[in-house]
Structure 1
Amino acid sequence: MMAITTYEFIYLLPLLILGSAIVILIFFLLFNRISTQQTAMLAIFCLLLSLVSSTCIGYKIISGSDNDALILTNLAQNVDEVTDKPTEVTDDINDAATNEQMLPEMHTVELPPSMLNDGASIEDDIVRNKNVILTLFTIDGYGALYTSLILFLSIIVSTLAATWFKNEATHHDLFYLMVLFSALGATTLIYSSHLISFFIGMELLSIMIVGLVGYQYTQKYSLEAAIKYMVLSVISTSFLLMGIAFYYAATGELTFSGLSYQLSTLSSPSILLLLGVCLMLVGIGFKLSYVPFQLWLPDVYQGAPTCVCLLLNTIGKIAIFCAVARLFLLAPIVNNETIRIIMTIMAFCSIIWGNVFSITQHKIKRLLAYSSIAHLGYLLIALIAVQYQVLALETIGVYLIGYMLANICVLGVISLESCSNAKEDHDNDVDLYGLFWRRPIIALAMGIGLLSLAGLPLTVGFIGRFSLILLGVTAELWLLVGTVVIVSAFSLYFYLRLVIILFIKPDNMIKTNLTNTNISIFAKFKQIGINEVFIVGSALFIVFCGVYPKWLFNLVSIAQYLTPQ
């Protein structure tokens, strides 16, 4: 196992800050009781500090620094030594491939086997990979980008929860502690390049979501939702562990690069290896709620607080999907025809199921639950077409960022309209009637978020949907492309229905004169707080990225993933 130097230690700073914040918060909870507001401020400050460190690390990785140049110079010298004797290195690798006892040690080779084919590819990788590789984590631009998004979302969830708890005098310190734990688990997932760190991050995130879903147990359906998620989470964990066990038994490896080497060098992967990959897909399918593992999702969304729904719908989905995308980008899993057919069927059924059942929903949270099934089905197309690596990576990034911003707009408004001491959140469509006439600014923001989820032009949702269709056409996935085009037009009904509801003027609204109206509008502007800023800012980004998406594509394209050694 490689030792972690001081230089590499700095790149784990976001994880260290979150861990330190958790320890400090536990200390305060045990020995020095503090108020809910103070706990919220401490959690938000630590999340903000971690976000700043992650952003700085991402900038350092992408732009390069003196230390990076030194590392790349040393690596280039090693590459020159290797490429001077290509025959000898190739013979060593071939001997190792024929000797089962040496397979577990393949990941300790100076360069990955796929990089030993030609000198040009090695030099290109050296120029591109200005990153640090550890045993359990790969610190690269890809991880820094999505870690920053996760931390930003955690800050929004914390601020929304502070508003949601405003009418209660009881302490809610544990809520923010679980938010910090979930951010730590999500960050671990995104940086993971080893199945051990992948499993730890996923379970840490899942356990915290169980606690957050059932946190406000006095609300209707809360305990039922927590129990359902807990039971199905245990089932998915069992499948995932069994798949990891089969994979290890077949390869003797637990690294993503080890799976990449096995699948790329073996002419016909063993049945045990394919069975392990399929069982891992079942466990991941439960977490991402793909058909036929989606039945738990609407009930869990309905019973959870709205701010927790935002966490589950964004942080929970984005972190797991990014970790799976890194695995698929490194290992040619979909090159196997059986796995490719299984994933195509899952994507097709998820898209159809999510959109069809969204039509009859009158609760916004249940509608977004079914909608998330469809959107994750759309993203599965990018994993199936993952051999077009750059295009797939850009498509995933643009779509996830658009999906995140739209959920902030929609669920953020519902959270502001609700409170913790009510039996359930105000997520019925009748609760939104005439919202524009009561709170025009956030109603406009929510409308923009719904239009982005529908994939209408001039929104970032349209850009993501168009990129996805383009990727599907490039990969010749005609069935899935046709399904996306037809269902996207079909889904306009339930999204536009909610947009229209926002702007319906209630019959009992009393007409006022111009002076009173101006005073009322001025008073509404004075009520804008930090949550409204986040919601309106997300709506503005949706429109800006829909009109001028070039900078977003540039951001995603420079945040490249790194092939572990």
Structure 2
Amino acid sequence: MSSSFIGYKIIANSDNQNSAQIAVQALASPKMKDYELQIYPQPLFSTEQQDSPSANNVELDKPTESFWKATYVTALFTSDGYGALYTSLVLFLSIIVSTLSFRWFYNDQKTSHSLFYLMLLFSALGATTLIYSSHLISLFIGIELLSIPFVGLIGYQYTQQYALEASIKYMVLSVISTTFLLLGIAFYYAATGELTFSGLSFQLSTLSSPSLLLLLGVCLMLVGIGFKLSLVPFQLWLPDVFQGAPACIALLLTTVGKVAVFCAVARLFLLAPIVNNETIRTIMVIMAFCSIIWGNIFAISQHNLKRLLAYSSITHFGYLLIALIAVQYQVLALETIGIYLIGYILANICVLGVISLESKSSEKEDQDNDIDLRGLFWRKPIMALAMGIGLLSLAGVPLTVGFIGRFSLILLAVTAEFWLLVGVIVLGSAFGLYFYLRLVINLYIKSDDQKLIKKQPGSITIKTRNISINEVLIILSALLILLCGIYPRWLFNLVSVAQYLMPQ
């Protein structure tokens, strides 16, 4: 007979006299004065007690514990608050991409685009599989289910100038990255004999020193993950793919495609002590440092907004890699990841959403050059304001959620004593201010061929018309950026759900 005290509330079974006596005796102790006794007439069994019919049915529960109980859905998936939070974001993004693509295909209504939306649905399914995965096999299946539809989505409108080139390039490099990832999983299994995340945690924690086979497997897995997250030195494919893909699919790539992979890897790194090894940690620090520097330097000279956002994506996931390095031994790591990802998603909706609304599927290219969006404020002031807010959030300007995420990241790096990475975050933020503010100013510059009302030179005209659902979602994202930047407390409460990763 055994009893375990986990929290502040004792739940006992009245049918079991010994159980109730133990609970009452526990309450009599001075150390247990803050506990509350509840006796139920029916037996209560926890997951561990079901295997033993003679087990004592005493359970303690914290009052601050989340209402969400993590459960295993076979050995492949874990259902918890962490998965619920990011799955909600994936579904929200999928709806936005669907509405943007419908508007993008507006002038091509004669052709059925059901295949496009079917591939979009499968990519969302792959992202959901990744987020809930707690097994290396489900991780691999989720990545493939996410990546294969992207090949068709990128090259779907093959009449555009760079669509086929981008689709072929993504397909070839995706196959290469998958090969590295699968080989790394095989070496990992050969060294540990486990494929579940929790099993890997036990095996790695009991090893006195990692074997060469294990280190090789982890490095090969980092190569495959580095391709998916476009981290240096596996980032060269991203700008060309972004430029060739429609703006709505570029939004899907940079948010759903990367956020799902990152969330799955964060769960793996949280449960399995991979970064405790000095060699692996050094490799990841170098990757983060080079990604931040590379992305900022090459973004400065870009005049194509989708290519600029591609280099920006390299930089931002270099920032997030810092939080991933510290995820095992820092309390604020998961909150920092959640806040940063939410801010990054909202900002990309504002920027790429406006580009998608300005473009059409019948054109050879999207309206993604800075000259195409020059003076947007004088044509569509509300959309220009929303896009400007998104760009400022990506730059990490105060009063935006991007600043909250960047500040949390610096605080995390300082707490973990990653002084080199703290310096590169500050340096990268200074570089980012230059090219993001340049784009914001470009939105307010009047173009030469722009026709304004003669009666009131320089005035702004807002035409009364029906507001589309896309514009509502973009405006809502911009307002959320400001709300979370001014009052971030509710956002911290929201991402705290991501703490419940293990079944109780």
Q: TM > 0.5 between the two?
A: yes
| Alpha-carbon distance change, 125 to 179 in structure 1, aligned in 2, over 3 angstroms | farther
- Structure 1 position 546 matched with structure 2 position 485: yes
Report if aligned partners of 1:329, 1:389 keep a CA contact under 8 Å in 2.
no
Residue by residue, what CA displacement relative to the aligned partner does 1:119-170 show, whole Å, maximum 9, x if unpaired?
A: 99x9779956722112110000000000000000000000000000000121
* 1:186 corresponds to which of 127, 133, 158: 127
Alignment of 1:485-500 (within 5 A): 485-500=426-441
Greater CA radius of gyration, 1 or 2?
Answer: 2
CA distance in 2, matches of 1:409, 1:245: 41
Q: Whole-Å Cα distance in 2 between the matches of residues 557 and 281 of structure 1?
A: 27
Percent identity among equivalent residues?
Answer: 74
Among 99, 102, 105, the residue aligned to 1:165: 105
SS of aligned partner of 1:361: coil
Equivalent residue in structure 1 for 2:202, among 251, 261, 269: 261
Q: Deviations over 1:330-377 (max 9, x none)?
A: 111110000000000000000000000000000000000000000000
Tell me if the contact between 1:236 and 1:284 (Cα under 8 Å) persists in the aligned partners. yes
Q: Distance in 2 between matches of 1:329 and 1:83?
A: 32
Q: Judging changes above 3 Å, is the alpha-carbon distance between structure 1 residues 469 and 160 closer, same or farther for their aligned structure 2 residues?
A: same
**Residue matched to 2:382:** 441
Task: Show structure 2 runs of 5+ residues with no match.
Answer: 1-41
For residue 380 of structure 1, the aligned residue among 318, 321, 330 is 321
Q: Distance in 2 between matches of 1:556 and 1:516?
A: 45
Aligned to 2:452: 510
Q: Does the alignment pair 1:528 with 2:467?
A: yes
**Does the C-alpha gap of structure 1 residues 442 and 82 become closer, same or farther in structure 2, counting only changes over 3 Å?**
farther
1:373-393 CA-to-partner distances (Å, cap 9, x unmatched) read 000000000011112343100
Q: Does 1:74 align with 2:46?
A: yes
CA contact (8 A) 1:140 1:560 kept: no
Instruction: Give, in whole Å, the separation in 1 of the partners of 2:405 and 2:238.
Output: 24
Q: How far 1:559 sits from its partner (Å)?
A: 3.2
Residue 238 (structure 2) aligned to one of 269, 287, 297 = 297
What residue identity is the alignment partner of 2:426? V
SS where residue 209 of structure 2 aligns? Answer: coil
Which whole-Å CA distance do the structure 2 matches of 1:452 and 1:234 have between them? 34
Query: What's the offset of the Cα at 1:183?
Result: 0.4
Q: Which amino acid aligns with 1:427?
A: D
Change (3 A) 1:380 1:331: same
Q: After alignment, is 386-395 or 326-335 more displaced?
A: 386-395
Tell me the distance in 1 between the aligned counterparts of 2:54 and 2:421.
44
TM-score with structure 2 setting the length: 0.87
In 1: Cα distance, 2:213 partner to 2:434 partner: 46
Structure 1 counterpart SS, 2:361 = coil
C-alpha distance in 1 between matches for 2:466 and 2:283: 51
C-alpha separation between the residues in 1 aligned to 2:380 and 2:300? 26
Tell me: CA distance 1:194–1:512, structure 2 relative to 1, closer, same or farther (3 Å). Answer: same
Aligned to 2:306: 365
Q: 1:150–1:186: 8 Å Cα contact kept in structure 2? A: yes
Distance, in Å, in 1 between the alignment partners of 2:405 and 2:325 is 16
Q: Give the match for residue 8 of structure 1.
A: none
Amino acid at match of 1:510: L
User: Paired residue for 2:90?
Assistant: 150
SS at match of 2:499: coil
Is 1:413 equivalent to 2:413 in the alignment?
no
Q: C-alpha displacement at 1:81, in angstroms?
A: 10
Distance, in Å, in 2 between the alignment partners of 1:391 and 1:73 is 33
2:49 & 2:147 partners in 1: Cα distance? Answer: 44
Give the whole-Å Cα distance in 2 for the aligned partners of 1:415 and 1:527: 18
Q: 2:489 matched to 1:563?
A: no
- Which residue pairs with 2:19 in the alignment? none
1:273 deviation in Å? 1.4
Sort the Cα spacing of 1:82 and 1:238 in 2 relative to 1 into closer, same or farther, 3 A.
farther
Q: Give matches, 1:111-122, under 5 Å.
A: none
Give 5+ residue unaligned stretches, structure 1.
Answer: 1-69, 85-118
1:513 aligned partner, one-letter code = K
- Aligned-partner SS, 1:374: helix
Q: Distance in 2 between matches of 1:398 and 1:504?
A: 33
In structure 2, give the amino acid aligned to 1:149. L
Compute the displacement of 1:438 (Å): 0.3
1:490 deviation in Å? 1.8
Deviations 1:212-264 (A, max 9, x none): 01111110011110111000000000000001111111122110111111111
More helix by share: 1
The offset of 1:527, in angstroms, is 4.0
RMSD across aligned positions (CA): 2.5
Matched AA of 2:486: V
Q: Count how many residue pairs are aligned between Structure 1 and Structure 2.
A: 458
When structure 1 is superposed on structure 2, of 387-396 and 225-234 the one drifting more is 387-396
Give the Cα–Cα distance (whole angstroms) in 2 for the partners of residues 82 and 451 of structure 1.
61
2:97 maps to a residue whose letter is V
Equivalents in 2 of 1:510, 1:249: separation in Å? 70
Question: What is the distance in 2 between the residues matched to 1:266 and 1:203?
Answer: 31
Residue of structure 1 aligned with 2:332, choices 385, 391, 406: 391
Amino acid at match of 1:223: L
**What's the offset of the Cα at 1:82?**
12
Conservation of the 8 A alpha-carbon contact between 2:348 and 2:390: yes
Counterpart of 2:165 (choices 221, 224, 240) is 224
Look up the match of 1:479: 420
Contact 1:257 1:564 in 2 (8 A): no
Tell which deviates more after alignment, 334-343 or 555-564: 555-564
Task: Tell me how far apart the structure 1 counterparts of residues 398 and 230 of structure 2 sit (CA, whole Å).
Answer: 28
Show CA shifts across 1:512-554 (max 9, x none).
Answer: 4369978x4243xx24200000100000000000000000000
C-alpha contact (below 8 Å) 2:452/2:458 kept by paired residues: no
8 Å contact kept, 2:119–2:152: yes
